[in-house]
Amino acid sequence: MKVKIKDVAKEAHVSVATVSRVVNDIPLVNEDTKQRVLDAIKKTGYKPNAIARSLKIQKTNTIGIMIPDISDPMYSDIVRGAEVTSEIYKYNIILIDTDSSSEREKEMLDVLLEKQCDGVIYIGKDFNNNTKELLERANCEVVLGCVQDKDGDISAVLIDNVEAAYNLTKDLIQKGYKNIAIITDEKGGQVVEDRLEGILKAAKEADIEIDKSLIQAGRLSLNGGAKSTKAILDSGKDVDLIICMNDQLAMGALKMAKENGRNVPDDLAITGFNDYWISEWISPTLSSVRQPLYDIGSIAARMLIKKIENMEDKEADNVMILPYDIRFRESVKEN
């Protein structure tokens, strides 16, 4: 039988109100009484029931985090950041894998709301009007990660993907690359679209035309990257650079390039996005755009909690753009 506040009260010869006060560290309790209650708690092994408390105070100290897939290292880094930070503020995390499916997002958001999460962090590859409507109807605090509402109605923390891709491409063009292929996600979505926009902008500024047939869309995986690379190489067109929308694609590209006898970076340069920890341990080491993933999770959690606790102006600093870092490694020639 679980011991409850009533049992402690009996043991300490006080009322449940008094026990509640010492449990919650409310100061107006006499030292002696407090000590008696503390002793009773220790003796009985009492642990407060957070569910009952939550019902009463209308707050669960639990936040939901919706991500496409926790087994993707990109997302697990974000979750790690969110988890560590949440814990500092005494919040816990309910983890939801959405597989980027909007039906699942809707269904699972309902579950989170029924469980009375104080807020939710939404991490995704895309942000569209359906998602926006869904999240706005939720009437609980929301912070987006990796994506943003471009109308600025919802808080978000992310990097500037357009700019990052633009600068990456500009740097690459400066290094002399001009026959550019791109490997992207067949599913599209805000993140890759923004990156594509940045790449095309830089190309256009340099008067470089990117052959549409060299923009390959496939599954966002090692295999997808390998297949798209094969298609690019098989086209017989001149290609000296493949820009991939993430590191998995780039690793698949690396492997396929080698298998087709291309030397990276001498014959062909390859770049990724996100900069997994593994990127600098493979050979050749992979050039990539580093996103501060842990920080995205951590900052999103803090922003959310501050909103929940009304600790700062709700309208202030709604969208937080974090710095990225372009890292050139062996998969790109020095000049």
**CA gap 13, 36 in Å, rounded:** 9
Residue 114 found at the interface with a copy of itself (CB under 8 A): yes
Helix (H) or strand (E) holding 156: strand 155-159
- Is residue 57 at the binding interface for a copy of itself, with CB under 8 A as the rule? no
CB 157 within 8 A of CB 300: yes
292 upstream amide cis, omega within 30 of 0: no
Q: At residue 279, what is the residue type?
A: S
When asked if residue 48 is in the footprint of a copy of itself (CB under 8 A), the reply is yes
> Given candidates 3, 38, 113, 231, which one binds a copy of itself under the rule CB under 8 A?
113
Interface pick for a copy of itself out of 38, 70, 134, 319 (rule CB under 8 A): 70
DSSP label of 263: P
Using CA atoms, how far apart are residues 285 and 265, in angstroms rounded to an integer? 10
Name the binder of 28 from a copy of itself, DNA, none, CB < 5-8 A by kind: DNA
Question: Cα–Cα distance between 90 and 106 in angstroms, integer?
Answer: 27
* 102 versus 235: smaller Cβ distance to a copy of itself: 102
The correct pick among 10, 24, 42, 50 for binding a copy of itself (CB under 8 A) is 50
Q: Does 278 bind a copy of itself (CB under 8 A)?
A: yes
- Beta bridge pairs of residue 259: none
Closest CA to 127 of 106, 102, 108: 102
Return the residue of 42, 43, 45, 52 that touches DNA, per CB under 7 A: 52
Per-residue binding letters, 87-126, with DNA (x by CB under 7 A):
----------------------------------------
Q: How many residues bind DNA (CB under 7 A)?
A: 29
Span of 14-22, 44-52, 162-170, 318-326 interacting with a copy of itself by CB under 8 A: 44-52
In this chain, which stretch among 107-115, 128-136, 203-211, 230-238 interacts with a copy of itself, using CB under 8 A? 107-115
333 interface partner picked from a copy of itself, DNA, none, CB below 5 to 8 A per type: none
Q: Does position 96 bind a copy of itself by CB under 8 A?
A: yes
The one among 10, 11, 17, 62 contacting DNA by CB under 7 A: 17
**275 touches a copy of itself by CB under 8 A:** no
Give the residues across from 320 on adjacent strands. Answer: 157
The region, left, alpha or beta by phi > 0 then psi within -120 to 50, assigned to residue 305 is: alpha
DSSP-derived pairing of the beta strands 319-322 and 288-290:
unpaired
Secondary structure (DSSP) of 182-246: EEEETT--HHHHHHHHHHHHHHHHTT-PPPGGGEEEE-SSHHHHHHHHHHHHHT----SEEEESS
Q: Is 321 in the site for DNA (CB under 7 A)?
A: no
Task: Tell which residue, 71, 64, 75, has the closest CA to residue 293.
Answer: 75
Binding residues (CB under 8 A) for a copy of itself: these are 47-52, 54-55, 60, 62, 69-73, 76-77, 79-80, 83-84, 87, 92-97, 108, 110-111, 113-116, 222, 251-252, 255, 258, 277-278, 281-283, 294
Write out the residues near DNA by the rule CB under 7 A. 2, 4-6, 13-18, 20-21, 23-24, 28-30, 32-34, 46, 48-49, 52-53, 55-58
